[in-house]
Structure 1
């Protein structure tokens, strides 16, 4: 990817288990709060895993009745987060064909699929909602946001599992650098805390089995980690060509200085340390930086025994073992398609405020991991550059280099 020093971030929005805005989510991260809870719904009682991260803010409060009824929960979360980001960016006056939307998702309207199968089984075809197909579309969130802001420069949907949100940012950067558009609303979302997704991940033995301690279940890099915690949520950012943003007097929150996307071409589930090393190095090259220029890393680190170990090795190879490393999934759980964008938002906020959230539950260092993992909020004033990673099933790897405004 071409050097991305000309792409800036002017707005951010979030719906997460820690809050319904970026400000509330950020406050929770700095305070070391956990958004993980026990699932009390009847459908969850027989599941092998009954803890998850749910968005407690009600999107219905920010949507019209018509909007709410026509969308899957993925659409709800994305539209609310995008409006927050769009408002913070100042609602840029941009020609419709110079404005695009790129919102990724791993599973799209999976909740709709399940609910409508139940309706079909219970009452036949007449019980199926006429909105079923548009609600279950993985491209639904990007379509709805493009309609909301009048974007005619493209409404794209990268579907790359847990790398989807980060890859959406990379695609947005690429569109701006290619000269196709001036502004891109980019991000990621997933809302599939349900019996099918939880059962599937549990069968893979990927989920944490720490059922008696929801707040302590997600523990990236810790010696006692035993799997990730499912969560839902959306993260959205507004990307702009820097000269366009400056010409309209926009406030600049940070820069996406470099981005890289690679594919492992190996196992459908297992990660590849060499490829993770490569994608970080490629992002650095795109930014015109070296590993020694990086001040901290926001790791993908989901809290799985093997995944964290491999990423730790790759990080050490690229930036060394003295640079502070954190994973906010310890507090929010794993937002799947929304995780990469939330990681970018946390990285931008850390560079902007000089405060880096710690990794909750990092209590017993793994002797095989040689990283400077921080366990509590740490000052990072003066930091200029950071890496944030996102990896997904299928061998999808994305790294973003973020620099201060």
Structure 2
């Protein structure tokens, strides 16, 4: 018999706050995290702004040895997972270490390390002087490995990579392993540190990002007629998933239950979503089927909506294909308008938003949308500009990634 899976811990390191409470407060308040880049001089780039972490000093969280041997994407993972593990309150000393695992995601891994090391070689005298930490810092699975090493967790441990669907993939895998009774607790989520010259420059050259340099705070504007691309973000989101009976037995605080999850592929284009949202539609159908629900049972849908012309509309078409275009009570939001797009970490922080929306009975706004695209149908209830009080018993989080990856997770209130 399949086990039930619940969420008992949350951790967030985001452009809108370096812990869950600050992050959630600013999301509900409708704050924008976008500003001119400080990590490097962006003067010669088409896009010159992003959603960077604010007032974050890694030495406040990690010791010198861990900082020296890890890339920022792993550092972010350690900080967020530390908060989630502490929040969950489980006593690891009383558990079999093989019952606790880590499934973590990152779309790019150690990009900063890669750039620094290759630059040092190519701009030097030709003699290879690569750091012995180069490969361990670079490889994408090191975040999951370091969370395991830091805490002594000896169960399932690996990394998912599915571009911007990555952390939803990680959450889905953690959910399934616990359902199959192959673990009692799994730390899951995603982290990304992509605001580097090469990574940022690549996206900028693709013209995938907004070039609203004169007003970065309003640049991420999902569904707006003047939207011109996404805004890059960085950070991490962590969740502790736990087998339901194990959580109840120890008296854990439960944020919500993972009711269903699914992945599909568009099989259409390297970077564009399917224009009719066929893969997204099927993914939502499968996740809802597993949750024993229909689309109209969803109270809050956190859309992937990154503020691109094709992407926003294709996702809306997918939703409409399920609602058959009829008026409904689903409240829809696009929180990337505030956080920016955290790529492989996006699904994790948006899962946190879904769970806290259920807890507090409030739905965060989509900001910066001043003139709705006429293609957006009237039958959809998009929460614009200000948060609303609204009871959320069932929430869905959509994520889609380059390569045609679609990852959907459904959360329910206990």
TM range (shorter): over 0.9
For 1:116, what is the secondary structure of its paired residue? helix
Kindly provide the CA deviation profile for residues 368-390 of structure 1, in whole angstroms up to 9, marking residues without a partner as x: 11222111343344321011100
Distance in 2 between the 1:378 and 1:363 partners?
Answer: 16
Kindly provide the CA deviation profile for residues 196-240 of structure 1, in whole angstroms up to 9, marking residues without a partner as x: 122211222211011110100101111111100111110000000
Contact 2:71 2:113 in 1 (8 A): yes
Q: How well do the aligned residues superpose, as a CA RMSD in angstroms? A: 1.5
Kindly provide the CA deviation profile for residues 307-365 of structure 1, in whole angstroms up to 9, marking residues without a partner as x: 00000111222245542110110011000000011110000000111111100102111
In structure 2, the residue matched to 1:80 is 79
Alpha carbons of 1:3 and 1:358: their partners in 2 closer, same or farther (altered >3 Å)? farther
In structure 1, the residue matched to 2:391 is 382
Range that drifts further, 88-97 or 392-401? 88-97
1:308 correspondence with 2:348: no
Contact 1:3 1:286 in 2 (8 A): no
Distance in 2 between the 1:92 and 1:256 partners?
Answer: 22
Distance in 2 between the 1:331 and 1:157 partners?
Answer: 27
Alpha carbons of 1:378 and 1:127: their partners in 2 closer, same or farther (altered >3 Å)? same
In structure 1, the residue matched to 2:16 is 18
Contact 1:111 1:194 in 2 (8 A): yes
Contact 1:350 1:380 in 2 (8 A): no
Alpha carbons of 1:262 and 1:122: their partners in 2 closer, same or farther (altered >3 Å)? same
Distance in 1 between the 2:403 and 2:2 partners?
Answer: 27
1:121 correspondence with 2:122: yes
Contact 2:99 2:155 in 1 (8 A): yes
In structure 2, the residue matched to 1:350 is 357
Runs of at least 5 residues in structure 1 that lack an aligned partner in the other structure: none
For 1:157, what is the secondary structure of its paired residue? strand
In structure 1, the residue matched to 2:149 is 147
In structure 2, the residue matched to 1:198 is 200
The structural deviation recorded for 1:174 is 0.6
Contact 1:167 1:261 in 2 (8 A): yes
1:78-227 equivalences under 5 Å are 78-93=77-92, 94-123=95-124, 124-125=126-127, 127-227=129-229
1:253 is aligned, of 255, 258, 268, to 255
Distance in 2 between the 1:286 and 1:3 partners?
Answer: 12
Range that drifts further, 258-267 or 14-23? 258-267
In structure 2, the residue matched to 1:395 is 404
Structure-2-length-normalised TM-score? 0.94
Distance in 1 between the 2:273 and 2:198 partners?
Answer: 23
The structural deviation recorded for 1:59 is 2.3
For 1:161, what is the secondary structure of its paired residue? coil
Distance in 1 between the 2:2 and 2:290 partners?
Answer: 5
Task: Provide runs of 4+ in structure 1 moved above 4 Å.
Answer: none
Structure-1-length-normalised TM-score? 0.96
Contact 2:368 2:385 in 1 (8 A): no
The structural deviation recorded for 1:402 is 0.8
The structural deviation recorded for 1:43 is 3.8
Runs of at least 5 residues in structure 2 that lack an aligned partner in the other structure: none
1:373 correspondence with 2:382: yes
1:43-82 equivalences under 5 Å are 43-56=41-54, 57-82=56-81
Contact 2:73 2:143 in 1 (8 A): yes
1:299 is aligned, of 278, 282, 303, to 303
Kindly provide the CA deviation profile for residues 14-56 of structure 1, in whole angstroms up to 9, marking residues without a partner as x: 1110111111110110111111110145542211111101112
1:338 correspondence with 2:339: no
Contact 2:2 2:180 in 1 (8 A): no
Distance in 2 between the 1:92 and 1:174 partners?
Answer: 23
Distance in 2 between the 1:14 and 1:225 partners?
Answer: 27
Distance in 2 between the 1:96 and 1:155 partners?
Answer: 12
